[in-house]
Homo-oligomer: A and B are copies of this chain.
């Protein structure tokens, strides 16, 4: 079936995911030999209702490496703030005239879905609201796991951080639920624990998971440690020990020799700089993979036309 809009990670089935990863491997080779591809007549519009420069650059570089062009704004809120009642739907209808794909970072959950309903060109959700999704991040996370661990089935994955508003952890959990013999640990203070909708989804897919307040007894068993941002202020206000959800040399000592550490970046205080030199620290490789996965995804959208 034709790939059209990219709205939420659960829309991807395993064969499509594996196709995408094959394409991403090809894109990696194209970039390595300093090449670019032949999508010269294609235009991508970057619509960011709030700045998210890393994600934006990753998408825009992907489009440029494909040979295409980019329309870009970090001030898309101007579309709506200046005019009373101006609607996202109108903006999408207009911008769709000027491009072949729209990458949308919207401030409200469900923004991408609303956009897709009226759009004449594919919409890629680049994050919608703090409780929404960020499916391309989840795809690049999974691609990194696949590349580094050479499998996805059978892995144990721990998510650490403020998981209640962790868009990336939510999106990746959906994707993991499509694979076999996965074990997931959600490690967070109770008040920041993963929300019930995801847990119910995992139950429905018979995914084995555990909730925990600390990494004790877990670090030794996992293959993937997925760190997410945690706000110092929020921890302090709840009188929670800052060290519980951070990683440093001591954590590294307990971690399996072939485990990997991921982080969607930017990080705050949750990963000490001393961790960067450890070969298991995969988060900068993960950021790099964003380029290949987004090139693959964009090319899929264009080729399927």
Query: Chain A interface (Cβ within 8 Å of chain B)?
Result: 34-36, 40-41, 43, 45, 51, 53-54, 56-58, 60-61, 64-65, 67, 69, 71-76, 78-79, 82-87, 90-91, 93-95, 97-99, 229, 231-233, 265-269, 273, 284, 287-288, 290-291
In the bound complex, what is the Cα–Cα distance between A199 and B90 (angstroms)? Answer: 33
> Please, which residues of chain B bring their CB within 8 A of the CB of A90?
265-267
For A292, the closest partner residue in chain B by CB is B97
Copies in the complex: 3
User: Min CB distance, A76 to chain B, in Å?
Assistant: 7
Q: Which of B86, B287, B288 contacts A266 (CB 8 A)?
A: B86
Q: Which residues of B contact A267 (CB under 8 A)?
A: 83, 85-86, 90
Of B40, B65, B266, the contact of A36 (CB 8 Å cutoff): B40
Shortest beta-carbon distance, A20 to chain B, in Å? 19
Task: Say yes or no: B288 contacts A57, CB within 8 Å.
Answer: no
Contact, CB under 8 Å: A69 / B74: no
Of B36, B41, B265, the residue contacting A35 (CB under 8 A) is B41
Contact of A34 among B41, B73, B76, B86 (CB under 8 A): B41
Chain B residues contacting A58 (CB-CB under 8 Å) are 97-98
Neighbouring B residues of A56 by C-beta, 8 Å: 73
Closest beta carbon of chain B to A59's beta carbon, Å: 9
Which residues of chain B have C-beta atoms less than 8 A from A60's C-beta?
71, 98
Chain B residue at minimum C-beta to C-beta distance from A72: B72
B266 touches A83 (CB 8 A): yes
Q: Are A54 and B94 in contact (CB under 8 A)?
A: yes
The listed residue (B40, B61, B273) touching A43 by CB distance below 8 A is B61
Q: What chain B residues lie within 8 Å of A76 (beta carbons)? A: 53
**Contact partner, A71, options B45, B61, B231, B273, Cβ 8 Å:** B61
Residue from the set A41, A91, A98, A229 with the largest chain B CB neighbour count within 10 Å: A98
Which residue of the partner chain, among B61, B94, B290, contacts A284 with CB atoms under 8 Å? B94
Tell me, rounded to whole Å, the shortest Cβ–Cβ distance linking A63 to chain B: 9
25 A-B interface contacts by CB (under 8 A): A35-B41, A40-B67, A41-B65, A43-B64, A45-B57, A51-B73, A53-B78, A60-B98, A61-B99, A73-B74, A82-B266, A83-B229, A83-B266, A84-B231, A84-B232, A85-B269, A86-B266, A86-B268, A87-B273, A90-B265, A93-B284, A94-B265, A94-B287, A97-B288, A97-B290
